[in-house]
Structures are given as structure tokens and as C-alpha cells.
């Protein structure tokens, strides 16, 4: 199943172009318009000319204020920054503190042992769907992606897997992707994230850390996405209710998104408003 295309980058982790992801009936996401990644604090345009060549106009940062302060983005040339903080002033311990959680095996064991790490991340995913603050952030992200003056758009959190993973799921579903396609893209980031966090995980394990805790922190798991989808279905009866009543995205923005980012096999934009039910 087609997932996002990795973009080779030496100084940006988990950079992926959503273009080419199947939306069914010979439709796919337009290439070069919306991209996902981890944080941009290490971006070096001299070492990564391919990133500059993407022509990014807007970077949407889904991280908390503390994360942005500790590791501020370095923007691609010509890009503007748009902050859409998903977790807000009370982010809890995950996923905004990935490296901190791996830095203290004893504290991690006390706080996250016995399956609590996975439970904590699952709870965070539910919060990302149900929290008014998270909904406002995701609404702002979708509206930005729907604005042709803002694209190409690059959106990210820290590792580009949790907050960014749900942002990707929402965007793809709005454009008509099936849940199977959404799940494939959601899980496809695991190899890259594992590789990027390997030094931190190895240090954690060498200090006696529990490998199951490390895995639950670093990976995205099917349960995480299932919890988010279940919360959407329970509260709003599915995608349409979530988009209308949870995110409150104006219909004109949805029409622009679908007409400009959904392309046929010949890469011609489809008629505004056309989508798969």
C-alpha cells in the first residue's frame, strides 16, 4: 500500500511527502504540497539543499511552548512559521518529553512500568481528539493546508509521529482516504523513528531501562490510532461529525482542500467537493 514518500535529508528527521498516497478510485494526494517531519531545530540548508528545493512556504509547528523554546525551528529559506500547539500548557509527560523520559530509567520505570507507558500514550491520543485546544490546533492546520498561498506546507512535532501522525490521519481522511490507508501511513514512520532515537534508547537500556517502556515511547502502535478513531466515532459519530462539530472547519476550506490537493492519475485536480464517502 502506498505511503508517503521519504525525502532524503541529513538534518531533518522523518521528512515525508504525502503526495502519491492513494485516495481510492484512481485518486491520490498531490505531490509536493503537504509534507510531514520531525522538528526542524537541526535544519542546515547548506547540508540539505533538497529541503530548500521543496520551496516550503509555511511550517506548521505542533509542539508546545517548552519544546519550541528548547529546540526552536530553523526555517527553510522563504518559509514562515505558524504555531498550532496541540497539547497546550499542560502537555503531561508524553509525547512532548520523549528524550526526557529516556534519560532516567528509574523514573521511567516508576512512572511508566507495567504497561503504563502504552496506556499513557493512548490517553494522549484520546486527548488529541477530544480536547478543545487540540481541536483548535488541528483546525488551524487543516485550514493552512487548504490555503494555496500557504503551500507547500511542512507540518511537524518533535519526532513527527504522534501529533503529526494524527494530523496526517485527519488530513488524509478529509481528502477521502480509507482507514486502511491511514493506518498504513501512520505505522510507516516506525523504522525511521526507531533509527533516529536509537542512541537514546541504547543509553536507556544500558542503564537498566525496560525495553518495553522504550518501545512504547518511541513507536507508534495500532492501539494509539484506534483510540483516536474510537474517540472520534464515540463523540461525533465519525469523520463528518468530527470535522463539522469538533474541528469546526468551514466547508469552503474543505472544498479548497479536496479540489486542490486531490488529483487523478493524470495529476489533474478533481472537481471541488468530490470525495469518497
Q: Look at residue 92 in the predicted model and tell me its pLDDT.
A: 65
What is the spatial distance between Cα 238 and Cα 232, in angstroms, rounded to a whole number?
6
Say if residue 191's pLDDT is above 50.
yes
Q: Look at residue 93 in the predicted model and tell me its pLDDT.
A: 54
Rounded to an integer, the average pLDDT of 13-31 is 94
Q: What are phi and psi of 222, to 5 degrees?
A: -50, -35
Closest by alpha carbon to 260, among 2, 29, 36? 29
The mean-pLDDT minimum among 55-69, 118-132, 223-237, 257-271 falls in 257-271
Residues 6+ apart with CB under 8 A from 131: 88
Is 32 within 8 Å of 54 (Cβ atoms)? yes
Residue 109: Cβ within 10 Å count: 16
pLDDT tens by residue, 123-170 = 999 999 999 999 999 999 999 999 999 999 999 999 999 999 999 999
pLDDT band, residue 265 (cuts 50/70/90): low
pLDDT tens by residue, 201-226 = 999 999 999 999 999 989 999 999 99
60 in helix, strand or coil? strand
Closest by alpha carbon to 246, among 173, 187, 146, 157? 173
Q: Look at residue 273 in the predicted model and tell me its pLDDT.
A: 37
pLDDT band, residue 274 (cuts 50/70/90): very low
Q: What are phi and psi of 24, to 5 degrees?
A: 85, 160
Say if residue 229's pLDDT is above 70.
yes
Say if residue 270's pLDDT is above 60.
no
Pairing of strands 153-156, 34-37: parallel
Say if residue 29's pLDDT is above 60.
yes
Is 150 within 8 Å of 232 (Cβ atoms)? no
Closest by alpha carbon to 133, among 62, 72, 232, 35? 62
Per-residue H/E/C for 85-116: CCCCCCCCCCCCCHHHHHHCHHHHHHHHCCCH
* Measured torsion, CA atoms of residues 87, 92, 94, 96, in degrees rounded to the nearest 10: 50
pLDDT band, residue 54 (cuts 50/70/90): very high
Is 16 within 8 Å of 37 (Cβ atoms)? yes
Is 270 within 8 Å of 27 (Cβ atoms)? yes
Q: Look at residue 100 in the predicted model and tell me its pLDDT.
A: 76
Say if residue 60's pLDDT is above 90.
yes
Is 152 within 8 Å of 32 (Cβ atoms)? yes
> Across the chain, which distance is largest between two alpha carbons, in Å?
57
47 in helix, strand or coil? coil
Domains in the chain with CATH codes? 5-262 (3.90.190.10)
Residue 79: Cβ within 10 Å count: 21
Pairing of strands 16-17, 34-37: antiparallel
Q: Look at residue 90 in the predicted model and tell me its pLDDT.
A: 72
Closest by alpha carbon to 38, among 134, 168, 179? 168
pLDDT tens by residue, 68-118 = 999 999 999 999 999 999 998 776 656 656 677 788 888 888 888 999 999
Start-to-end Cα distance in the chain: 20
Using the 8-state DSSP alphabet, how is residue 271 labeled? P
Amino acid at each position: 500500500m502506498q505511503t508517503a514518500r521519504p525525502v532524503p535529508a541529513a538534518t531533518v528527521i522523518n521528512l515525508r511527502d504525502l503526495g502519491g498516497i492513494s485516495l481510492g478510485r484512481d485518486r491520490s494526494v498531490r505531490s509536493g504540497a503537504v509534507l510531514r517531519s520531525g522538528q526542524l531545530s537541526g535544519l542546515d540548508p547548506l547540508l540539505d539543499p533538497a529541503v530548500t528545493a521543496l520551496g516550503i512556504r509555511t511550517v506548521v509547528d505542533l509542539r508546545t511552548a517548552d519544546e519550541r523554546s528548547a529546540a526552536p525551528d530553523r526555517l527553510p529559506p522563504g518559509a514562515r512559521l505558524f504555531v498550532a500547539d496541540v497539547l497546550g500548557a499542560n502537555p503531561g509527560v508524553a509525547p512532548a518529553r520523549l528524550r526526557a523520559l529516556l534519560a532516567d530509567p528509574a523514573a521511567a520505570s516508576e512512572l511508566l512500568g507495567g504497561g503504563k507507558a502504552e496506556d499513557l500514550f493512548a490517553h494522549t491520543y484520546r486527548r488529541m481528539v477530544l480536547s478543545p485546544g487540540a481541536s483548535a490546533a488541528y483546525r488551524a492546520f487543516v485550514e493552512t493546508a487548504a490555503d494555496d498561498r500557504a503551500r507547500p506546507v511542512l507540518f511537524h512535532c518533535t519526532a513527527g509521529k504522534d501529533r503529526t501522525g494524527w494530523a496526517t490521519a485527519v488530513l488524509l481522511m478529509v481528502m477521502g482516504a480509507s482507514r486502511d490507508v491511514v493506518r498504513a501511513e501512520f505505522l510507516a514512520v516506525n523504522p525511521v523513528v526507531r533509527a533516529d532515537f536509537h542512541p537514546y534508547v541504547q543509553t536507556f537500556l544500558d542503564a537498566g531501562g525496560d525495553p518495553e517502556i522504550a518501545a512504547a515511547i518511541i513507536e507508534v502502535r495500532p492501539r494509539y490510532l484506534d483510540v483516536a478513531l474510537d474517540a472520534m466515532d464515540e463523540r461525533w459519530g465519525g469523520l463528518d461529525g468530527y470535522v463539522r462539530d469538533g474541528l469546526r472547519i468551514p466547508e469552503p476550506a474543505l472544498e479548497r482542500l479536496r479540489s486542490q490537493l486531490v488529483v487523478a492519475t493524470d495529476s489533474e485536480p478533481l472537481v471541488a467537493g468530490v470525495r469518497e464517502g
